Amino acid sequence: MKIILLQDEKKLGKKGDIIEASEGYARNYILPKKIGVEANAKNMNDLKLHKANEDKIAKEQLEAAKALAAQLESKQVVVKIKAGEGGRTFGSVSSKEIAAACMEQHQLEIDKKKIVLPENLKSFGSYEVAVKLHPQVTGKLAVKVVES
């Protein structure tokens, strides 16, 4: 019996896969537990439409990420931190502070988890910071750390 999986199942396959299962296993385990549905014409068409919709959404998200990356290339974020004697900084600039400054200065909402810092910025100056917007798109943001 052919079955379309509705969720990931360890020994059977991933969501959306079409598998071959014995009649008894399908009727007594897969169908009652709503792990999968029978692969008839209606369900196959629903699966095809669902996959087409997912592809469309993924493409739109990729385009949005590319547009945001292009927007970030032209922006510069200025972050102010306190300085002590001799121009040394108190503390450092983290991804949370960069995200807050980007929202405040340019009204661009960037998740702090998507900002990739090799380490916190502990000195004054200009830096190029990578922003992972999508698995295929990484933008660059100019960050300038100045004394407050």
Residue 113 in this model has a pLDDT that exceeds 90:
yes
pLDDT, residue 27, reads 95
DSSP 59: H
Give me the sign of the Cα torsion angle 113, 119, 122, 125. Answer: negative
Q: Rounded to whole angstroms, how far apart are CA atoms 15 and 79?
A: 45
User: What's the pLDDT tens digit per position in 18-32?
Assistant: 999 999 999 999 999
pLDDT at residue 78 tops 80: yes
What's residue 1's pLDDT? 93
Model confidence pLDDT, tens digit, residues 47-71: 999 999 999 999 999 999 999 999 9
Q: Which long-range contacts (CB under 8 A, 24 or more apart) does 103-112 make?
A: 105/77, 105/78, 106/75, 106/77, 108/68, 108/71, 108/72, 108/75, 110/72, 110/141
- Answer whether residue 85 shows pLDDT above 80: no
- In 3D, which of 27, 30, 28 has the Cα closest to residue 5? 30
Q: How confident is the model at residue 92 (pLDDT cuts 50, 70, 90)?
A: confident
What's the pLDDT score for residue 147? 87
CA 141, CA 77: separation in Å to the nearest integer?
Answer: 8
- Backbone dihedral angles phi then psi of residue 16, each to the nearest 5 degrees: 90, -10
pLDDT at 44 over 90: yes
Distance CA 77, CA 101 (A): 7
Task: Write down the pLDDT at residue 49.
Answer: 95
Answering whether pTM is above 0.85, one says no
